[in-house]
Chains A and B, each alone.
Chain A
Amino acid sequence: MSSFNLLIAQKAQLAHIYPALIASSVINGSDPVQPVAVVIKEVELLDKAVPESSIGVQLEGDDVVYGPEAVLKKLISAYPQHLRGSQGSLEDEWIAFTLTRLSGGTKDFKSTSAALEELNNHLTLRTFLVGYTLTIADISVWGALNGNGQAISAIKRNHLPNLVRWFKYIGSIERVSTVVESFKAEMTTKKKAKSKEG
């Protein structure tokens, strides 16, 4: 029995859901109980009255909490030992960076590339965004970048070497990349099933 349900609307923007999806995978990978169950719903919004409800999390017996930021905060407060390093306030700054600069739904190429350049500079002498281990900071930023087409094509151009190196390294951590791959695969299967029905 899972203690948490992570609810995802199938139509949600990937940059909004990958951070929480990866965080759940990291939690499940370090906890034998595997406390987070991922549930994908074939809807645009989980609650039509709540605009940010493309993603939600529900603790057993509790109300659902909606929105990318609230979901991350909920997961962190329940499992700090799996998601936090020793510098929580710096990690929070990168969560804010993710929400405002990378997944805010902006299609403005200039602002995305400014954010990528900032990341590239920050990673000059760093292997992780904060400290020397994987934290929610890396998980959030890596997840949002992975769900952002502009960012992916910029990374593929290889002109921001520190960002490219970090992106590859974080992606090499099994619990990070496999969950994204299997999510993509599941989506493809669902789409195929749908087109057969139609």
Chain B
Amino acid sequence: TNTIVSHLSTLIPAFKEDQYTDLEKAEIAQWLTLTASSPIIEDTLRLLNDELKLRTTILGEKPSIADVVMYARLKDDVAGWTDDQRTGETGYRNIVRWVDFIQNSPVFGLNLPEGEKVKIDPSKVLVYLKPEEAVK
């Protein structure tokens, strides 16, 4: 299916290949492979949540086909998560935030009807994490 995904991405003007560096293309491919299994394994979710801690999109700041495809692959999982799985001490809070961004941001133009979006209330956070120590 990733072959189809890469082919489709070349047809969408917003995600034209030439705007991505080789490193970015490799990152996109890596994430598409990691999330191709169904169900997505917990290690992958953990990895993705860590990755999105300092990144708004999969690539950081730049939108890509990986955001859209992975949103489609993850949304049903996320919709089923409890509050604790979302924003508890070890919840996948960064994935939840990213999903809410992808489904609502005009950048991706998904124009989903409200009923098809994952229900996320951004003001509902079970545990706010304490500031981390400075990273050296």
Chain A residues close to B by CB (< 8 Å): 117, 120-121, 124-127, 132-133, 157-161, 164-166, 168-169, 172
Contact = CB atoms under 8 A, between A and B. Distances in A.
A158 B53 CA distance: 11
Contact of A126 (B97, B132, B134): B97
Nearest to A125: B122
B102 to A, nearest CB: 10
Contacts of B129: 124
A165 B53 contact: yes
A121 B125 CA distance: 9
A157 B131 CA distance: 11
Contact of B54 (A125, A161, A172): A161
Interface string B54-69: 1110001110000000
A170 B106 CA distance: 15
Interface in B87-136: 87, 93, 96-97, 100-101, 104-106, 120, 122-125, 128-129, 131-135
22 contacts: A117-B131, A124-B87, A124-B93, A124-B122, A124-B129, A125-B87, A125-B93, A125-B96, A125-B100, A125-B123, A125-B125, A127-B97, A132-B101, A157-B135, A159-B133, A160-B131, A161-B53, A164-B54, A165-B53, A166-B56, A169-B61, A172-B61
Contacts of A121: 125, 128
A68 to B, nearest CB: 28
A127 B131 contact: no
Contacts of A166: 56
A156 to B, nearest CB: 9
A166 B131 CA distance: 15
A168 B54 contact: yes
Interface of B: 53-56, 60-62, 87, 93, 96-97, 100-101, 104-106, 120, 122-125, 128-129, 131-135
Contact of B56 (A120, A124, A169): A169
B97 A124 contact: yes
Contacts of A161: 53-54, 132
Given A157-B134, A159-B134, A124 B104 contact: no
A172 B124 CA distance: 27
B125 A165 contact: no
4 tightest CB-CB pairs across the interface, nearest first? A172-B61, A125-B122, A132-B104, A169-B56
A159 B131 contact: yes
Given A125-B122, A127-B101, A165-B56, A120 B131 contact: yes
Contacts of A168: 54, 56, 60-61
Contact of A127 (B53, B56, B134): B56
Nearest to A166: B56
A133 B101 CA distance: 10
